Chain A
Amino acid sequence: MAKAENFSVIGQRVRRVEGYEKVTGEARYIADIVLPKMLMGRILRSPYPHAKILRIDTSKAERFRGVRAVVTAEDTIKKPWGAFFADQYPLSVGKVRYVGEEVAAVAAVDRDTAEEALDLIDIEWEELPAVFDAEEAMKEGAPLVHDDKERNIAMTIDVERGDIQKAFAESDVIVEDTFESTPQWHCAIETIGSVAEYAANGKYTIYMNTQTLFSARVRIAAALGVRETDVRIIQSAVGGGFGGKSCDDNNALVAAILARKAGKPVKVINTREEEFLAGSRPRVFMKIYVKMGFKRDGRIRAKQTRVIADNGAYSAKAPAITGVASLRHDTCYKYSDVKTQAYLVYTNKIPTGAFRGFGNPSAEWAVEQAIDKAAHELGIDPLEIARMNAAEPGYVSPHGNRVISCELKQCIDMAEKMMDWKNKRANKRPNTGLGLACTVHVSGKRHFGDYDGSSATIKINEDGKALILSGEGEAGQGCYTTMCAIAAEELGVPIEDVEISQADTDLTTFCLGAFASRLTYISGNAVRDAASKVKQQLFEQASEMLEANAEDLVSRDGRIFVKGAEHKALTVGDVARARLFRNGGAPIVASGKFDADSVLQDSTRYGNESGAYNYGCQAAELEVDRETGQITVLKYVATSDCGTVINPIGAEGQVEGSVAQGIGYALIEGLKMEDGRPVNPNFGDYRIPSMRDMPPLEHAFADSYEPTGPFGAKGLGELGMDPTAAVISNAIFDAVGVRIKTLPITPEKVLKALREKGNKG
C-alpha cells in the first residue's frame, strides 16, 4: 500500500521536457542531421530467401559518376555478431538467408545516385532450397539455414518445477489447446537510420536513433573489430522505438563501413519498405501449446507449455524472448507445478526480435485464453478465477522470481468495477461479450551479463540549474521527463531547473538503455542516488553559510534554509557559486548508481530476473456482427500496478499507446508473406490503428508502493500491451461462443468460425 509522502513534483502532471522542440519541428531526428561533405548510402539487399553468392562484381558501380565507395563483405572482418548468439554479418559472407539481407552498399553524392549505382552491382547467385515454417524446419532433412545448427534449432528450453504428472493427476479439470501469435512490426513512424563518420585516428562517431546506445556500441565494436572506445554513439531524437531500435540490425554498421571506405560521413536511412524487410526485428512468431489443470473451485494446479518460436534467419533477442514466453507468466498467478519446453528455430525469414512486451504478449495470448477456457468449463466467472489465483506480495514463482509489491488483486477489483462486470454479465445482451486477462511484467531484466543497473551524474551549474548526464537515452516514451522529475523531487528544486543531456557514449557512464520497462525503476534509482549525493554537497556548503548543521537544512523550490527559518534562504545557485568561486573551490557534482537486487538465471533458468514486478488487468466489452464478422469494442478498461505514478501524463500515455498496439496486434496487423517475401511491405497494406480504430478507454493505476523503487515507482512501459489480444479473444468467445486461435482476429476468421460452429449445430 502507498506510503504517505508529501511530494512536490512526483505525481504532478508534468510537461514533457522536450515538448517544445517537438511541437515546433526543432527536435533533430536522424534524418535531419547533415554533416559537411556527407554522402548518402544505399544498401543492396538479397532478393532471395536462401542463396549462395558465387561472385560479386562492383567495378561498374565504382566507376559510376558520383559514387564514392562501394562495400561488400570483403570490406569487413567477416566476424559474426549478435545480442545473444553471434550469427549475423554486417554484409553477407558467402550466402544470404532471408529476403532483404544486406549484401553490398554504395555511398554517393546523393541518394538517387547511390540507388542507381546499386543496379550496377553484378552478383552471381545460386539459389538454395529454403524453409519458412518453424515446424517444417525442425524436421529431419529440412534445408539448413546455418550449416552447424542441426534441425535448425537455435536454442531449447526444458524446465520442470514440482511434479507435473502428479499435478495433472490431482486436477479436476484439464484444458489444452494450441494458439498461434503473429509477427508484428514496430512501425515507428520514423525508420531506423544512422550517420557515421570515421576519423583518421581510427575512431568512428555514429549518430543513431537507437534506444540502447551502449549495447549498440559493444555490438558495433565487435562487428568492426575495434575497441569499444573506438566507437562513439550519439543519440539523435528517436521517433519511436518499442524495441525495434535496440541495434539488432545492420544499418549503423553499413554506414560505418561506408564512412571508413569513403573517408566522409555517410547517412543511411531505411525506406519504409526496408524497415519491413530488414529493419526493426518484428515480434517473434510463436506457436504455443498449453495444457492446464484446475481444481474444481478454480484454483490452478498445473501448467504445461510447449513453445515453437520462429527465430527467422538470425537470432537478435529471440533467445531471451522465447525464455520469457516460456517462464514469466508463472509470476502472474500462484503456480506450484509447471513444465515448459521451447524450441527457437531458424527459418529463411526476417530475423525476429524485441517488440514491446517481449515474450509476454505471445504467452498471454495463449495462457490467458486457456484459463478463460477453463473458467467456462468450470462454470466459474473468469474474473473470479483470476482473483483467486492472483500473485500476492511475497510470492516466489517456481522459477525464482521474488515479488515484493503486487497489487494484481486491486487491479482486478478496479477492472471489475470500471467495467460494471457483474451487472453486465448478469444482463448479457446477444452477440455482446466480456473478456479479461491479467499480466505481469518486469522492471528491468538481468540478462546482459550479471548487471541490471544504471548510473547517472548530476552537476549543479553556476546559475543553480541541475544537469543530469545519463547514457540511457530517450526513445520518445518520456523517460527524460521522469528522470528530471525524480531529480527535482530529491533535490527540492522546481522541475524547470533540471535539464538532461543528449545521450552520448563518450560523455556518460555505461547504461544499458531502454528495454524491459527498466528506466523508471533502474535509472530512476540511479538518478535519485546522484541527486541525493548532490544535495549532501549543497547542504555541506550551505551549513557553513547559514551557520547551521547540515541535518537541520531543508531544500524546497530551489531554496535552501534552516527548518523553520525560510526567510533566511539561499538559492541553489548561491550555494553552488560559493562552493566554486573560492580558494580551493570545487564544482557541485556527483554520480549515483543502482543495481537491482535480482539474480542472473542459472543453467536451468532459475533466478529472480528483475528487481520489481508490475501487474495489470484489462477487460473489454465488445459486440460481434454475425453477418460480417466485424468486431466493435464498446468499452476497454486497463488497470495497472506500476507502484507510484511519477508523471500521470506520461503514465497514461504509456497505457494508452500500449493498448493501441495491443488492439493492432489483436485485430488488425499482419503482413502476407510468400516464400519468405513480405508482400506489399508498406503502410497501405500493413495497417496500424488510426484514431478512429481506438475504442472508448478507461484506465486506472493501483494504489501501490514498491519499496525498492524511486519514490515507490516501478516499470510500466510494456505492461499495457501484454494481455490485450487475449482480452479481445476471450470477449469474442463470451459474445458468440467461438474461440479464435490465430492472430490477428480478422472478420473473415470470425465468420469462418461461426459457420463451422453453426454446421456443428
Chain B
Amino acid sequence: MKRHIVLNVNGEEYEIEAEPNRLLLQALREDIGLTGTKEGCSIGVCGACSVIVDGRLVSSCLTLAVACQGKEIATIEGLAKDGKLHPLQQAFIEYGGLQCGICTPGQIMAAKALLDENPQPSEEEVKEWMSGNLCRCTGYYKILESVMAVVNNKISADYQAGKKVREAKIQSLDVYEPVSKTK
C-alpha cells in the first residue's frame, strides 16, 4: 500500500506516494527527480548514495523514504547557494578531486558531514572518515587534498557558479600543496 509522505529536501517540501519499502535513494532520484545522488553498490558499502539526514551521514540505498518524514534531508543539489559553489565543491574542481564524477556527490556530502561536525579534522581523521566512500578513478590522493584544502582554509568561497565558463580556469599555484608530491 502506497503512503502519502512529505519529504523536506534541501529546504523544500515534496509530497510523494511511496510504498513502505521505497528507499530514500529511489524517492530522491525517481519520485523527486534529484538525480545528483548516485547508486553504486546498493548495499551501503560504496558511499555513492550518501546524503545527510538531520545532520547525520546516511546511505540512501539503505534508508527507507517513509522513515525520513519530518527530517531535514540534504543532497548535493542543495550545496551551491546564491550562485556560489560550496567550498568543498570548489575544492574538488581546483584540486582535481574528481575524474569520472560518479562518486563525487557522495564524497562531497561525506566530507560536508565531517566538517559540519568537526571543522578541523586531522589528515588521519579525514582518511578514516572518507574510507566509507569508494572511488575507482583518483586513488583518493586528490580527494584528500581537496578536503584538506577546505580544512586549511585555502578555498575562497567566492567561486561564482553561474559564471563558471567565463572565470579563468587556471588555478594559481600558491594554493597548491600536494599530498602526493610531484618532483
Interface residues of chain A, those whose CB is within 8 Å of chain B, are 9, 12-29, 31-32, 186-190, 237-242, 271-272, 414, 418, 475-478, 494-496, 499, 648-650, 652-653, 656-661, 682-684, 688-694, 696-701
Contact = CB atoms under 8 A, between A and B. Distances in A.
A24 B180 contact: no
B141 A188 contact: no
Q: Which size class do B's interface residues fall under?
A: 35 or more
B37 A25 contact: yes
B96 A649 contact: yes
Given A496-B167, A691-B140, A694-B141, A239 B38 contact: yes
Contact of B165 (A26, A27, A496, A653): A496
Given A20-B85, A189-B134, A648-B182, 14 more contacts: A24-B76, A25-B37, A29-B35, A189-B40, A237-B101, A239-B102, A240-B100, A272-B43, A418-B183, A478-B99, A653-B99, A659-B139, A683-B134, A688-B136
B7 interface: no
Nearest to B37: A25
A476 B99 contact: yes
A15 B41 contact: no
13 contacts: A21-B101, A23-B98, A24-B36, A25-B105, A189-B38, A238-B100, A476-B137, A649-B142, A657-B139, A683-B40, A683-B43, A689-B140, A698-B183
Contacts of B133: 690-691
A232 B105 CA distance: 30
A23 B86 CA distance: 10
Contacts of A189: 38, 40, 46, 48, 100, 102-103, 134-136
Given A15-B94, A239-B101, A652-B96, A188 B136 contact: yes
Contacts, number: 216
Nearest to B75: A25
A477 B35 CA distance: 22
Given A16-B93, A239-B101, A691 B144 contact: yes
The 3 nearest A-B residue pairs measured at CB: A25-B36, A476-B100, A239-B102
B170 interface: yes
B60 interface: no
Nearest to B147: A691
B45 A25 contact: no
Given A27-B101, A653-B138, A691-B143, A13 B127 contact: no
Nearest to A649: B96
Interface in B122-167: 127-128, 130-144, 161, 164-167
Given A31-B35, A653-B137, A691-B140, A684 B104 contact: no
Interface string B56-74: 0000000000000000000
A467 B99 CA distance: 22
A639 B138 CA distance: 17
Nearest to A694: B140
B5 interface: no
A697 B139 contact: yes
Interface centre among A29, A189, A692 (most CB of B within 10 A): A189
B27 to A, nearest CB: 14
Given A475-B100, A649-B96, A682-B45, A692 B127 contact: yes
Interface string B30-56: 000011111111110110100000000
A272 B92 CA distance: 26
Contact of B45 (A14, A27, A684, A694): A684
Contact of B134 (A495, A652, A656, A688): A688
Given A653-B142, A696-B180, A190 B40 contact: yes
A240 B136 contact: yes
Contacts of B89: 23-24
Contact of A496 (B29, B131, B168, B173): B168
A366 B37 CA distance: 42
A495 B169 contact: yes
Contacts of B135: 189
Interface centre among B41, B103, B137, B180 (most CB of A within 10 A): B137
Given A24-B89, A239-B102, A240-B100, A496 B137 contact: no
B183 A656 contact: no
Given A13-B176, A16-B98, A495-B169, A25 B77 contact: yes
Contact of B166 (A19, A496, A657): A496
A270 to B, nearest CB: 11
A692 B131 contact: yes
A27 B35 CA distance: 9
Given A25-B105, A272-B40, A418-B183, A697 B141 contact: yes
A23 B92 contact: yes
Contacts of A477: 99-100, 137
Contact of A653 (B96, B128, B164, B183): B96
Given A653-B96, A684-B45, A31 B136 contact: no
B14 to A, nearest CB: 16
B149 to A, nearest CB: 13
Nearest to A494: B168
Contacts of B142: 649, 652-653, 656
B6 interface: no
A20 to B, nearest CB: 4
B80 interface: yes
Contacts of B139: 653, 656-661, 689, 694, 697
B171 A692 contact: no
A240 B102 CA distance: 8
Contacts of A694: 139-141
B2 interface: no
Nearest to B106: A189
Given A189-B38, A189-B136, A701-B182, A14 B169 contact: yes
Nearest to A692: B131
B79 interface: yes
Interface string B9-31: 00000000000000000000100
Interface centre among A14, A23, A271 (most CB of B within 10 A): A23
A656 B36 CA distance: 26
B115 to A, nearest CB: 15
Interface centre among A16, A17, A496, A691 (most CB of B within 10 A): A691
Contact of A682 (B41, B79, B130, B161): B41
Contacts of B46: 189, 683
Interface centre among B43, B79, B136, B164 (most CB of A within 10 A): B136
A13 B182 CA distance: 13
Nearest to B100: A476
A661 B99 CA distance: 14
A659 B140 CA distance: 11
A13 B137 contact: no
Given A19-B98, A682-B45, A32 B170 contact: no
Contacts of B183: 414, 418, 698-700
Contacts of A478: 99
Nearest to A659: B139
A20 B164 contact: yes
Given A189-B103, A189-B135, A700 B182 contact: yes
Contacts of B143: 691
A578 B94 CA distance: 37
A285 B142 CA distance: 31
Given A18-B101, A683-B45, A697-B141, A26 B36 contact: yes
B114 interface: no
Nearest to A17: B169
Interface centre among B95, B133, B164 (most CB of A within 10 A): B164
Contact of A23 (B93, B166, B169, B173): B93
A225 B105 CA distance: 40
A384 B28 CA distance: 58
A699 B142 CA distance: 13
B44 to A, nearest CB: 9
B94 A690 contact: no
B108 interface: yes
A17 B167 CA distance: 12
A540 to B, nearest CB: 28
Contacts of B105: 23, 25
